[in-house]
Amino acid sequence: MPKPLKREPESIELHEGDIPSSVSFGDSVAVDTETQGLDLGRDRLCVVQLSEGDGVCHLVQIRAGEYDAPNLKALMADAAVTKIFHFARFDLAILKRYLDVTVSPIFCTKIASKLVRTYTDRHGLKDVTRELLNIELSKEQQSSDWAANELSKDQLKYAASDVLNLHDIRDKLQAMLIREGRLELAQACFDFLPTRAHLDLNGWDDVDIFAHS
């Protein structure tokens, strides 16, 4: 395999509190979130990243207590626009808690990866992106202060990188799902995700309610 490439965003548009009403993402949008940590009961939503897969990333900076974002909420609930996530379970829960929006419809590349890349246990976005697209992601800013009043250039580039490739990854994984006859199963999992997120928010995050014991 040739040396992995590093894809840089063509443009990063930073918005305060919401996306402009003039911004459109077509029939699918890649979405990610940045938070103060991974505890849904403690850590707040700080940034929402969006991309149409065209090299442009829209970053919405969310200030503490300012969770109106009517345009962003409308996009997340728009039945005509598929929202592409990697590990949608967490993002859906944090968006529900802070924006009070149920996101649908959904494609989760992490679930799709686990359903078809059964030859590996490496399903993180960095690993999936490297294998399927031969693009290397930097994770240096993953554990940084996303609630800062002013985000650094490195933070903006990191946040953008998490959504720039999701459309291409979705397409690769969808083809694999079709090849293995698992697309319908994947869709059923995607459809269940809002309920899974609701369970997480209500205290059943570590309990398998389907288990016998």
Domain CATH code at residue 161: 3.30.420.10
Q: Is residue 30 part of a domain?
A: yes
Q: Is residue 168 part of a domain?
A: yes
**Residue 172: what pLDDT?**
98
- By percentage, how much of the chain surpasses pLDDT 70? 95
Find, among 104, 102, 33, 29, the residue nearest to 62 by Cα: 33
**Residue 8: what pLDDT?**
82
Q: Is residue 37 part of a domain?
A: yes
- CA–CA separation, 72 vs 41, rounded Å? 22
Q: Is residue 148 part of a domain?
A: no
- CA–CA separation, 97 vs 48, rounded Å? 14
Q: What residue numbers bound the domain in which 188 lies? A: 11-136+157-201
**Residue 7: what pLDDT?**
76
pTM of the prediction? 0.94
Quickly count: other Cβ atoms within 10 Å of residue 170's Cβ.
21
Give me the residues of the chain with pLDDT under 50, please.
none
Q: Is residue 115 part of a domain?
A: yes
**Residue 138: what pLDDT?**
75
Q: Is residue 147 part of a domain?
A: no
Number of domains in the chain: 1
**Residue 5: what pLDDT?**
65
* Alpha carbon 99 to chain centroid, angstroms: 15
Task: For residue 3, list its beta bridge partners.
Answer: none
Q: Is residue 187 part of a domain?
A: yes
Q: Is residue 103 part of a domain?
A: yes
**Residue 213: what pLDDT?**
85
Find, among 80, 81, 78, 20, the residue nearest to 52 by Cα: 81
Max alpha carbon distance in the chain (Å)? 52
